[in-house]
Amino acid sequence: MIIMNQRMIKRISLLIAYVLAIYIVFPDNAYGMHIMEGFLPFNWAAFWWIAMIPFVIAGVRSIKKTVTLYPNLKMLLGMAGAFAFVLSALKIPSVTGSCSHPTGVGLGTILFGPAAMTVLGMIVLIFQALLLAHGGITTLGANTFSMGIVGPFVSYGIYRGLKKLGAPQWLSIFMAATLGDLMTYVTTSIQLGLAFPAASGGVMASVLKFMSIFAFTQIPLAISEGLLTVMVFNILTAYSQKELQVLTAFTGKALSSIKRGVKA
Amino acid sequence: MSELILEAVDLEYSYPDGTKALRNVNLQVHKGEKLAILGSNGAGKSTLFMQFNGIFRPNSGTIKYQGEDISYKNKALIELRKKVGIVFQDPDSQLFSASVWQDISFGPLNLGLPEEVVIERAKQALIDTETTDLEDKPTHLLSYGQKKRVSIAGVLAMEPDVIIFDEPTAGLDPRHSKEFMLLLEKLSLEGKTIILSTHDVDLAYFWSDKMAIMFGGEIIAHGDPGELFRRPEIVKQADLTLPWLIEMHSELVQKGWLPPSTPLPKTREDLFRSIPAKNDKAG
Amino acid sequence: MIDIDSYAYSNNLKTVHPAEKSVFTMMTMVVCLTATTVITPLIVLAIMAGGIVIKAGIPARVFVKLMLVPLSFLLISVLTIAFSVSTNPAGFWLAQTIHGLTVGIHYPDLITAVHLFLRSLGAVSCLYFLALTTPMTEIITVLHKLKVPVIITELMVLIYRFIFVFMETATTIRRAQLSRSGYVSMKSSFRSLSRLSSALLGKVFVKSQELYNALAARCYSGEIRVLTKKRPVSLRNYLMITGFEIPLILLNLLWR
Ligand SMILES: Nc1ncnc2c1ncn2[C@@H]1O[C@H](COP(=O)(O)OP(=O)(O)OP(=O)(O)O)[C@@H](O)[C@H]1O
Ligand SMILES: [Mg+2]
């Protein structure tokens, strides 16, 4: 009995040590979202590259259409990409007390629409890989798929959907940013699980393992980012109505609804 | 007097947010002229420059280039911009590439020149602005003054007939300011028309052959620099100070060291030459 | 970050043709990814470390520090793959059972994890070789030659340039906020950060219009065309690359 208890204590403390270790080894959460260089086996790396390409082509088409109509928006997009990079290098306080980096997925999607975000997201990921060694070239396909495709489209869908249901502006923005972030990390977990099925339990077991590990860090980050995005939008709608209007070129109706939301 | 090259007629301009930046501006620039524009922050200098090559379109009034109203059609604008170049105030909003060489080649390539000519011109522009040794550095590792010189090179390489510099010497160290003034001299000798804005009254006074003073979106005076600086009401209204040459000159005249009829000195040498030696005076 | 970027402009290999460096990097990376033995990644790591430290002249200290950057992701992910939790204690190679729940390692998972660990380190060293020796503007030129859509390379040129402009602005604003104790509590951190972000975003709008005006003044009409510096093409380098890759490829093919 006593031996039992000692063992249990030992094991529980092991578990606690493991969780603590995650926090110590892994203080920069958002960067953890990117799959690092060389981590995916060749076949999976190639698969995600191929999966990314049609979306990028669609994004390029849509951007081209917009910038032929409004040539100054090319400069705006370029600077928005630079902004996203800088934003992701800032530290955001996480609700658990640790620190992490915003992704800007929700903010960017609501401002520029998901198609432009795919291209911007990919470019920002290239720069993060080459300038910061976060992510990589072989894993660019997978990372773009989660951060530049799934994240933005989820954000966009939720934002549009909630607006249609008549949800208040702040709630739509919060949910779009938070769930966009969460889905990005779920996608990353699925990508890792697919590439490394567990010896017992296969893909599903592996996906669950990754999701539970990342959950420690990603859920608080997603909530923090949701809050931050709402606050930024509050400032923007108060001071930058005219600029928001310019952006309707990218998003069509989505932004005019922001304007209506504010006037109402 | 040589022919007119640029002319602003009854310009009015407001920014989209309603700020009235130019009011009833009339200005004539002659070919080969060295025109300095003075005026405090927010007087409208930069705004006026943007009218000169059609970046902004006036709400009313016109800009004339070589006697003809400029057209705001795309093709015509590009033709105009080949002849009227602007170096912007902030190099961080003019340099678009991290590579100095790429940035400088951008303008001449847009002129449709063959590659060899572009290379030739870009190299010359690097030499003229003393930026040859910066060529392999990325823009973000350059100092402010270095960026400024690179942005000047980017416009020089296009070899426009009229070059407008928006506060070109702000941020340059004394040596590079001086080199820059020599470069302006060289451009003048080549027959270019040069317009610059500055807060440096000494520079405006000794360099320019015409001066315009702006205040609150208006041109409140235009003419010979020596004459303008001798009108205290203008100097006061535009919040300007007097060039040291003029202050020194009037002080010397007042104290009786110089006869009142001495012409205003244009350079320090002029002034020093007009001051009599001590034994002359005694004798 | 400024580190990696500034070494790209000041290393001994910066005048080597960017295409040569890219081919070398990408081929080695693929060889490393398709490796069937742990020896290949180790050789790759050694070659790249030599290239970076000896050929390019980047201090070894810097290289080691950079290799540690992705270590947190790597360790966490590798451990996640190695360890499993299951109600069935059978088949574990090393395990602990608590209340019928077994935490432990399956042998095949361990092998995967070890391979993965070395393979990733090898690939990261390839990435660093390219990033530390090749200025970004030249990498963009290579992409342009590879027929990447022009709009992508144009955006890359602009983004790369303005990353540094905005980084400077962000640092300045942050410093000002810090000096007015803007990040003391969680609430004030959020407030300061949202102000900083929206100030930056405001700058994005203003600067982009200014840049457009400045480019228009230089006859911009929709496409950003620039000249790039020509670097000498070296046959010797291509021979050297072949000399490195062929043995590695053979090793991958023959080691079964
Ligand atoms: N993009 C803009 N939108 C609205 N108002 C503007 C804009 N740019 C300038 N203004 C306003 O127009 C007026 C003239 O500005 P301008 O930049 O032409 O002044 P300036 O003489 O160049 O000043 P400085 O010496 O500071 O460069 C100012 O009141 C300024 O606030
Ligand atoms: Mg100005």
Ligand 2 centroid to residue C213 C-alpha, Å: 14
User: Is the dihedral angle over the CA atoms A126, A127, A133, A134 positive or is it negative?
Assistant: negative
Listed range (B158-162, C97-101, C104-108) with the worst mean pLDDT: C97-101
Give CA A241 to chain center in angstroms.
Answer: 26
pLDDT of residue A237: 83
CB-count exposure of residue B186 (10 Å: 0-12, 13-18, 19+): exposed
pLDDT at C206 over 50: yes
Contact B249, B264 (CB under 8 A): yes
Evaluate whether residue A222 is within a structural domain: yes
The 10s digit of each residue's pLDDT in B155-179 is: 999 999 999 999 998 888 888 888 8
CA dihedral A30, A32, A37, A39 (to 10 degrees): -150
| Beta-bridge partner residues of B14 | B20
pLDDT at C160 over 90: yes
Which residues of A are less than 8 Å from B16 in CB distance? 242
In a mutational test of the C interface, the residue from A26, A36, A40 whose CB has the highest number of chain C CBs within 10 Å is: A36
Identify the helix (H) or strand (E) that includes residue B268.
helix B268-274
Closest residue by Cα to residue B93 from B148, B142, B40, B39: B148
Half-sphere exposure of residue B179: CA atoms within 13 angstroms, side-chain side: 13
CA distance A125 to chain C (A): 11
pLDDT at B133 over 70: yes
pLDDT of residue A263: 35
Confidence of residue A15 (pLDDT cuts 50, 70, 90): low
Ligand 2 centroid to residue B44 C-alpha, Å: 7
CB–CB of C225 and B110 under 8 A?
Answer: yes
Q: Which C residues 114-143 touch A at CB under 8 Å?
A: 116, 119-124, 126-128, 130-131, 136, 139
- For the CA of C209, the closest atom of ligand 1 is 1
pLDDT of residue B27: 95
Evaluate whether residue A57 is within a structural domain: yes
| Higher pLDDT pick, B116 / C90 | B116
Instruction: Report how far apart, in Å, the C-alpha atoms of C250 and of each of A57, B9, C30, C31, C244 are.
Output: 36, 78, 13, 10, 11
Closest residue by Cα to residue C24 from C4, C52, C2: C52
pLDDT of residue A16: 61
CB–CB of B106 and C226 under 8 A?
Answer: yes
- From the list B81, B138, B140, the residue facing C217 with the nearest CB is B81
CA distance C119 to chain A (A): 6
Cβ–ligand 1 distance for B216 under 6 Å, the answer: no
- For the CA of B49, the closest atom of ligand 1 is 18
Residue A117 structural domain: 40-255
Half-sphere exposure of residue C140: CA atoms within 13 angstroms, side-chain side: 26
Q: Which of B45, B195, B201, B220 for a ligand 1 pocket mutation test, highest count of atoms within 8 Å of Cβ?
A: B45
Evaluate whether residue A202 is within a structural domain: yes
Residue whose pair of structure tokens reads 């840049």 in the numeric block? C211
Closest residue by Cα to residue A49 from A151, A145, A153: A145
The size of the A-B interface in CB pairs under 8 A is 3
Cβ–ligand 1 distance for B164 under 6 Å, the answer: no
| Higher pLDDT pick, C138 / A95 | C138
pLDDT at A138 over 80: yes
pLDDT at A91 over 50: yes
pLDDT at B118 over 90: yes
Domain harbouring A194, CATH code: 1.10.1760.20
Q: What are phi and psi of B70, to 5 degrees?
A: -75, 150
Give the percent of chain C with pLDDT over 90: 46
Identify the helix (H) or strand (E) that includes residue A145.
none
Instruction: Kindly identify the ligand whose nearest atom is closest to the C-alpha of B42.
Output: 1
Ligand 2 centroid to residue A174 C-alpha, Å: 40
pLDDT at C256 over 70: no
For chain B, list the contacting chains (3+ Cβ pairs, <8 Å): A, C
| Higher pLDDT pick, C255 / B81 | B81
CB–CB of C170 and A82 under 8 A?
Answer: no
Assign residue B10 a region: left if phi > 0, alpha if psi is -120 to 50, beta otherwise?
left
- With CA atoms as reference, the chain C residue closest to B120 would be C227
User: What average pLDDT score do residues B269-276 get?
Assistant: 81
pLDDT of residue A94: 63
Which residues of A are less than 8 Å from C80 in CB distance? 209-210, 213
Task: State how far the Cα of A177 lies from the Cα of A104, in Å rounded to an integer.
Answer: 8
| Higher pLDDT pick, C2 / B108 | B108
| Higher pLDDT pick, C188 / A43 | A43
The size of the A-C interface in CB pairs under 8 A is 265
User: What average pLDDT score do residues A232-237 get?
Assistant: 86
pLDDT of residue B239: 86
Q: Does residue C214 belong to the interface with chain A, where contact is any CB pair within 8 Å?
A: no
Q: Does residue A263 belong to the interface with chain B, where contact is any CB pair within 8 Å?
A: no
Which residues of A are less than 8 Å from C135 in CB distance? none
Sheet holding C101-105, edge to edge: C83-86, C101-105, C94-98
CA distance A81 to chain B (A): 14
Ligand 2 centroid to residue B268 C-alpha, Å: 29
The 10s digit of each residue's pLDDT in B12-70 is: 999 988 899 999 999 999 999 999 999 999 999 999 999 999 999 999 999 999 989 99
Contact B52, B164 (CB under 8 A): yes
- From the list B99, B101, B106, the residue facing C218 with the nearest CB is B106
Evaluate whether residue A3 is within a structural domain: no
Q: Which B residues 170-229 touch C at CB under 8 Å?
A: none
User: What average pLDDT score do residues B245-258 get?
Assistant: 84
pLDDT of residue A173: 93
Confidence of residue A178 (pLDDT cuts 50, 70, 90): very high
- What is the predicted ipTM? 0.91
pLDDT at A29 over 50: no
Give the percent of chain B with pLDDT over 70: 98
Q: Say how many domains are in chain A.
A: 1
Listed range (A211-215, B90-94, B124-128) with the worst mean pLDDT: A211-215
Cβ–ligand 1 distance for B45 under 6 Å, the answer: yes
Q: Does residue B16 belong to the interface with chain A, where contact is any CB pair within 8 Å?
A: yes
Q: Which residues lie near ion ligand 2 (Cβ < 5 Å)?
A: B 46, 89
Tokens, residue C143: 């992409």
Evaluate whether residue A94 is within a structural domain: yes
pLDDT at A27 over 60: no
CB-count exposure of residue B39 (10 Å: 0-12, 13-18, 19+): buried
Cβ–ligand 1 distance for B47 under 6 Å, the answer: yes
For chain C, list the contacting chains (3+ Cβ pairs, <8 Å): A, B
pLDDT of residue A18: 61
Identify the helix (H) or strand (E) that includes residue B87.
strand B84-87
Ligand 2 centroid to residue B197 C-alpha, Å: 8
Evaluate whether residue A4 is within a structural domain: no
The 10s digit of each residue's pLDDT in C47-75 is: 999 999 999 999 999 999 899 888 877 88
Closest residue by Cα to residue B74 from B54, B51, B101: B54
Looking at every residue in chain C, the average pLDDT score rounds to 88
Where are the domains positioned within chain C? 1-134+231-256, 147-225
User: What average pLDDT score do residues C248-254 get?
Assistant: 85
